[in-house]
Structure 1
Amino acid sequence: MKTVKTMMDEETYAHLVAERKKAGVPSVSALFLLRCGVLTDAKEASEIVRKAIRAAKSKKVGYEFRLRDLFSTAGWNAFSKGARLRAGKMFHEEVAAAIHGLRASRKSSSNHQYYIVAS
């Protein structure tokens, strides 16, 4: 995979963050992909997982959560359903790799996977 970096001033970045929020995508990078017409559920899911892992790592050891708990309600609902489902599978695979200090905990009665910050 290739990485593209774009340098910009604070004002431009703030504008792009506002546009990203309006568009309901997880990052400015995803906004660029969306505006170029190449954002797919898989790419959006990848961005969701990347942000979720970063958010989960900032929580205290012992914190139990669902993937959606790492986002605001409005932020989570702004993602497409396909991207949310794919992100759930991808996040589970990342946790199973045991390299992020997270582990699967339990499943709820509605079959939602819970995770716990292990270290």
Structure 2
Amino acid sequence: MPVIRTVVSDETYASLSRKQRKAGLLSISALFLSKCNETADDAEADKIVRRAFKLAACKPPGEEFRVQVLFPPATWEEFSKGARLRSGRIFKAETNAGQRGIRAVRTSGSNHQFYIRSNAHEQD
């Protein structure tokens, strides 16, 4: 994936950072994309997934969880709906690959996927 780098002054960075937080976006890059009417859902979803795996690693083995409950409710609501949905699909695909020590265990009646962190001695 290509990376775009922009060098700015400290004042410009502070201004962009305020605008990004006010818009409820995760990064200044997401702010740039939204201002250009480009979708930031892919980048935002990738960030959600990375954070979710870090948070899931802190869960006790065998405890069921949903991706959404790994985040404080206010933080989860700040993510765009498209990014939340996409992050769920990415998270499930990565757990299905069996590389993260987390596995899908069941789907609720409302179609929410539940996961557990495997014990270190278990094989996925």
TM range (shorter): 0.7 to 0.9
For residues 33-58 of structure 1, the C-alpha deviation after alignment (integer angstroms, 9 at most, x for no partner) is 42465661111111111110111012
Q: TM-score, normalised by structure 1?
A: 0.74
- Bigger radius of gyration, 1 or 2? 2
Between the two proteins, the alignment pairs up a number of residues equal to 109
% identical aligned pairs: 42
| AA aligned opposite 1:94 | E
For residues 50-86 of structure 1, the C-alpha deviation after alignment (integer angstroms, 9 at most, x for no partner) is 1101110121111210110111111111111111111
Q: Distance in 2 between matches of 1:22 and 1:60?
A: 35
**In 2, are the aligned partners of 1:24 and 1:75 still within 8 Å (CA)?**
no
User: For residues 1-119 of structure 1, what are the structure 2 equivalents within 5 Å?
Assistant: 1=1, 22-25=22-25, 27-28=26-27, 31-35=28-32, 37=36, 40-119=40-119
Secondary structure in structure 2 of the residue aligned to 1:115 = strand
Q: TM-score, normalised by structure 2?
A: 0.72
| AA aligned opposite 1:87 | S
Change (3 A) 1:104 1:21: farther
Q: Which runs of 5+ in 2 are unaligned?
A: 8-12, 120-124
